[in-house]
Structure 1
Amino acid sequence: MSAPPGSDRFRAVLGHFPTSVVAVTALDRAGTPVGMTVGSFFSVSLDPLLVGFCPARASTTFPKIRTAPGFAVNLLAHDQEWICRRLAARGADKFRGIGWRPAPSGAPVLEGALAWLDCTFADVHEAGDHYVVLGAVAALEADGEGAPLVFLKGALEPVRRGSGN
C-alpha cells in the first residue's frame, strides 16, 4: 500500500473543482463589522434550511464572528475580487471603502453581492485544521444579476456564461 498523498497534492487535485467565493460577515461585540473570505460554502438542508462553511481554526476573524448572534453569507460577484482580497487580509480596517447595509440580524450585507443569506449558528464542529459551521437561514435574497466569483486552479476567476468556465 502506498503512502497517502500530501497536502500539496491534495490541493492540486481538488483545485480542478471550482469553489464559490463568499464573504461571511457579522458585527462583533462592539458593533464593528467583521468579515472573512470563505471558499468552502455549501447548502446542507432544505428542511430545516441550513448552509455551511469551513473557516480555518487558525483564523483570527472567525472567533469574532462566532461571538455574534448571527452572520451573513454574501455571494460575491465576479467584479468583487478586491473585496475578496480585502476580507482575506489580516489586520487593518477590512471594511474601509466597502458599502454595506444591515441584514435583519444586523450582519453586514455587502453592496453588489449577487445574493445574501442571514443566518444564526446551528452548530460548529472541529474537523482537522478547520471548523464545519452550520447556519440556520433566517432570511435571504438574490439582489444582483451577473456572474459569481469562484476559485479554480489556485486563482480567482469570474464565471462567464457560455465560455466553458
Structure 2
Amino acid sequence: MLLTDQPVLDPRVYRDGMARYAGHVQIVTTRLAGVLRGVTVTAACSVSDAPPTVLVCLNGSNRNNDIFEQSRVFALNSLAAHHQPLAAAFAGMGGVPSQERFGLGAWRELVTGAPVLEDAAISFDCELMEVKRMSTHFVMFGAVKAMHFGPTAPSLIYLDRGFRAL
C-alpha cells in the first residue's frame, strides 16, 4: 500500500506504520516530594555528546506526566531482554499501581535523585533543560549529569506491538 498526497494521514494508519518501527525499550523515571513516576517509552535518543544531551517524548495528555516538568530531573533507563515484565508494568499493563511498580526492580540514586535501575543496560541521570510541546506529546531535553552502566545483556526492543530481544 502506497500512501502519498494525502491531505491528512489517518492516525490509525500512522500507528500501524510506527508498529513496524523497532524501538529500544526504556523506562523514564523521576521523583518529586516523595512521589515516584516511571513510564515505559521507545521515543528517546541521544541529541549531542558535547554537552551530553538526550531527549525523551512523553504523552502530554496524561496529567500524571506533569511531574517530569515539575521535578526538573529524570533518568532514562535502557532495558535488557530480562526486563520485559518491568517494561510491561511501567507501560500500565497488568494493572500494577504506579507506586508499586518500583518494587519490581532495584533502584538507586546518582546525582539528580531520579530513580536509576540498578541492572539497566545503561542509565542516564539528567537535569531537565527544556520542554517542547508538540501535538499530543511533549519532548524533554535533558543534560546528562551522571551515567550508570549495568551488566551487558541482550537489549529489549518493541516491534510489531510486542517485546523482542536483540
TM-score normalised by structure 2 residue count: 0.87
Alignment match, 2:153: 146
Could you list the runs of 5+ residues in structure 2 that have no partner in the other structure? none
CA distance in 1, matches of 2:69, 2:96: 18
Give the 3 Å change call, closer, same or farther, for CA 113–15 of structure 1 in structure 2.
same
Deviates more, 1:131-140 or 1:85-94: 85-94
1:117 aligns with one of 120, 124, 139: 124
Segments ≥4 residues shifted beyond 4 Å:
none
Judge conservation of contact 2:118–2:150 (CA < 8 Å) in 1: no
Residue by residue, what CA displacement relative to the aligned partner does 1:110-163 show, whole Å, maximum 9, x if unpaired?
Answer: 13211100000010011111001111111113222011111111111111xxxx
Alignment match, 1:14: 18
Judge conservation of contact 1:27–1:68 (CA < 8 Å) in 2: yes
**Equivalent residue pairs, number:** 158
TM-score normalised by structure 1 residue count: 0.87
Whose helix proportion is higher, 1 or 2?
2
Secondary structure at the aligned position of 2:71 is classed as: coil
Alignment match, 2:115: 108
Identity %: 26
CA distance in 2, matches of 1:39, 1:59: 17
CA distance in 2, matches of 1:95, 1:53: 20
Q: CA RMSD in A?
A: 1.7
Alignment match, 2:52: 49
Q: How far apart are residue 88 of structure 1 and its match? A: 1.6
